[in-house]
Structure formats: C-alpha cells, structure tokens
C-alpha cells in the first residue's frame, strides 16, 4: 500500500457497512479518501474517528445523491478543483428494495437500477476520464458486487436486485475489455461478498425486521474486516 499514500480515492456509499470499512482502512493506510453518501453526517463521524485514531490519511465527507446524475457530475468537478482528480474509484453504493417481479413497483425497480447500475457506470466513466486527463496509468476501478450477481437466490424480494448485480458482473467485464483496448494499465476489479452483517437486510426488510434478524442468524456470516493487499491494488 505504500505507493498509494497521499493519493486520492473515491468510495461511494461510505456512510455505513462495507463502504465505511473500506474508507476507514484506506485512510489508515495513508490515502486521501472522498467518502460520499446521502447521509454525510455518518461519514463526518467516521472522519472524526480517523483523526482521533491518528491515521495518516484523510477522510473527506461529500454529500451526494447517487440517483441524480447532476450530483455525481458536480462531485467529480469538485474533486478536480480541490484534489486534482482521483486515482482509485470504489463503486460500493448499492441497495435492494423488496419489489418482486410479479408485484413490485416500477419506482422501486428504477431506484435499484439508478443506484446499482447507472450510478456505478457514471462514476466509472468520470473516474476513468479523470485518470486519463492526468495521464494516470496505474489507477484502479473496483466494483463491489455480490454473490447475487452470480446466482439468483430463491427469494422473490431479491430477484430484481439480483438482476442489477448481474449487470455489475457484465459491466466489470466490459470495462476490463475496454481498458485493454485503450492500452492502459488502469485495473478493473469486481468483488462479490457473501452475506455480511450490515444494515443491508434491515433496510431491505424494514417493514419486517424479524426477517432481517433471521437472515443473519440462520447462517454463519462474515464480519467486515478490510485488509488491503499491495498485489490487489
């Protein structure tokens, strides 16, 4: 991780869960991290924790609604002015809504596509252009996917979410191919966690919290522990 000290990373959905853990770990290893989310107050608290812990990097909270393209474009413009650009983009933000294929609301499907697919694609495009403009040839674009991007679980509430994550699998492979054609050394990575105890299930089953509890107690699940490894970065 030494070569990344002082360089700039963007982590979307950095307010809770895996995103917050990633942002904290990168700051601990000396990076300048822009953490974005709609709930910027939680990122501000995390930034204060990083300072009190004496981490060598910096966490910079940025309020951004990833379902609004203008918000994302404004964020990248701000990053360019304040920090020149980004070297690492971690597309972590994602959400699931209980909207089955046979009875779900179109608005819920659209929200999942806007955040899980369109926002990821916009951030990827803008991150690449930022790297290209500054002749950064060792950047990294990392998509936080899900096992649901590789198999469809037998639960109606998760089917449309799975479709959005299958899209992330395809988009990452497409990105890899386009980066290769561009003859750049910028890397594309897709990480597909299994079940991890975060706020995810509690938000998905907000009207039936007992289902969320059962989800996390029925199987052995992973804890969030982010350990950057130089070979993967």
Residues with active-site annotation = 161
Whose CA is closest to 37, among 58, 11, 8, 55? 11
Tell me the C-alpha distance between 176 and 141, whole Å. 10
Longest CA–CA separation in the chain, Å: 51
d(CA 16, CA 41): 11
CA angle 24, 26, 31 (to 5 degrees): 120
Which residue, 203, 202, 222, 223, is CA-closest to 213?
A: 202
Distances (CA, A) of 29 to 143, 186, 228, 233: 20, 21, 8, 12
C-alpha 177/C-alpha 105 separation (Å) is: 35
Write the Ramachandran bin of 131: left for phi over 0, alpha for psi from -120 to 50, otherwise beta. alpha
CA atoms of 184 and 208, how far apart (whole Å):
47
């Amino acid at each position: 991780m030494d070569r990344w000290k002082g360089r700039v990373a963007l982590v979307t959905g950095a307010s809770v869960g895996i995103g917050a853990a990633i942002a904290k770990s990168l700051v601990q290893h000396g990076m300048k991290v822009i953490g974005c989310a709609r709930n910027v107050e939680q990122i501000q608290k995390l930034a204060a924790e990083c300072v009190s812990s004496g981490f060598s990097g910096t966490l910079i909270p940025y309020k951004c609604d990833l379902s609004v393209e203008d918000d994302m474009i404004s964020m990248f413009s701000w990053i360019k002015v304040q920090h020149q650009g980004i070297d690492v983009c971690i597309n972590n933000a994602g959400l699931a809504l209980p909207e089955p294929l046979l009875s779900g609301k179109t608005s819920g499907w659209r929200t999942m596509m806007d955040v899980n697919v369109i926002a990821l694609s916009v951030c990827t495009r803008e991150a690449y252009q930022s790297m290209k403009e500054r002749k950064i040839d060792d950047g990294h674009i990392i998509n936080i996917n899900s096992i649901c991007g590789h198999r469809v679980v037998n639960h109606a509430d998760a089917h449309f979410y799975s479709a959005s994550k299958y899209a992330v699998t395809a988009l990452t492979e497409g990105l890899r191919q386009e980066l290769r054609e561009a003859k750049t050394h910028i890397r594309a990575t897709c990480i597909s966690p299994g079940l991890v105890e975060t706020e995810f299930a509690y938000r998905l089953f907000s009207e039936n919290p007992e289902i969320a509890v059962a989800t996390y107690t029925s199987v052995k699940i992973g804890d969030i522990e982010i350990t950057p490894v130089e070979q993967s970065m």
